[in-house]
Every structure is written in C-alpha cells, then in structure tokens.
Amino acid sequence: MVREPIADAEGASRHPDEALLLRLYPSLRRFAAVVAPPEVAPDDLVHDALVLMLRRGPISSVAEPGAYLRRSMLNLASNHRRRLGRARHAADRLRPDVSAVDSYPSDLDHLGVLRPEARAVLYMQHVEGRTSESIAQVLGLSDAAVRQIATRARRELRDHIEQQEA
C-alpha cells in the first residue's frame, strides 16, 4: 500500500513513516543512552534497531513502533554486552594481567553495573514515569517480572554504592 506524503508544520511534505520516526526519535534516543553499553553510541543503537525493523516492512505496519524499537534496542544492548563479556573472558585467559581502563567518576557510572534490562526498567520508571504495567507491555515481560527487576536493580545499586563508599 502506497501512502501519500503529509505536510508538516513547516509545510514540507513528509512520508507518514518519516513523520512517525521524527516524533519517536527523541524518546528513543534518550532510552538508547540509558541501555546502551558504554562502547556503543546511543544513535548507533537506535539506527541498528531501525534497520532491523525496516527489514520487516514499513514502520507504520507495526502496531506499537515505539515499544517494538525499545525492545529491539534492549535486545541489541544485551547481545552486545554478552559479546563483550565473552571477549573479555578470552582476553583474560590469554593475558591475565590486563589492567582496567581508566574512567572518570560519575553518578551514572553506577548504572553500568546493571544489566541493560534493569537499566531500562529503572529509566522508564523514574525518568519517564511509567507504571510497571506499561513497562511490562513495552518490554514484553509480566508486571511481576518488571517489579522484581526494579527491586533487584535498586538493591544491586545500593549495594554497589555502599561498597564504593566503604
């Protein structure tokens, strides 16, 4: 089905998928900044999720494109984290004296100890103000699983911060 272009506020003609993407992009970019591993630029994560989505067809063919893209980004971030973990373990076996990379202290560094899924849940709860039911719907989890992930993530953060301060 061919869709007719729509005129935006400036009068420019836009395809419906482009207008939808322009509307969704800022919130997707912020979400990607939270769940992306430090080695991956948030824009790259959004781009990779969009590429995967567009392989299936037009954006407008998906019932909830924002939720679909968020879940895709979360999966991509988790996959990247697993690949890096395997690479780090292999490097450790080859060279056991590998030293840690220097980093600059930041309050956000503490979030790096959490899995991408836990970071996503905390972000959607505390920054976007979503309920656990809406987070469950976006991430394809049960409401109870979202609450459990949030509780464990807060506990893990608290323990990590207390260890750092001790």
CA distances (Å), 134 to each of 37, 52, 73, 96, 159, in order? 24, 23, 17, 44, 28
What the block records as the tokens of 136 is 């469950």
Distance CA 32, CA 41 (A): 8
| All domains of the chain in start order, with CATH | 12-99 (no CATH), 108-166 (1.10.10.10)
Give pLDDT tens digits for 27-56. Answer: 999 999 999 888 889 999 999 999 999 898
pTM: 0.59
Rounded distance, CA 45 to CA 28, Å? 10
State the Cα–Cα distance between residues 117 and 146, nearest whole angstrom.
Answer: 9
Say what percent of the chain tops pLDDT 70: 79
Q: How many CB atoms lie within 10 A of CB 54?
A: 11
Q: Where would I find the beta strands (DSSP E) of 45-154?
A: none
Q: 20 pLDDT exceeds 90?
A: no
State how far the Cα of 142 lies from the Cα of 159, in Å rounded to an integer.
26
What is the arithmetic mean of pLDDT over 79-84? 82
In tens, the pLDDT along 87-141 reads 776 666 666 444 555 555 566 677 888 898 999 999 999 989 999 999 999 999 9
Angle at the Cα of 47 (from 45 to 48), degrees rounded to 5?
Answer: 65
Weakest-pLDDT range from 62-66, 75-79, 80-84, 151-155: 80-84
Chain position carrying tokens 């991408």: 116
19 pLDDT exceeds 50?
yes
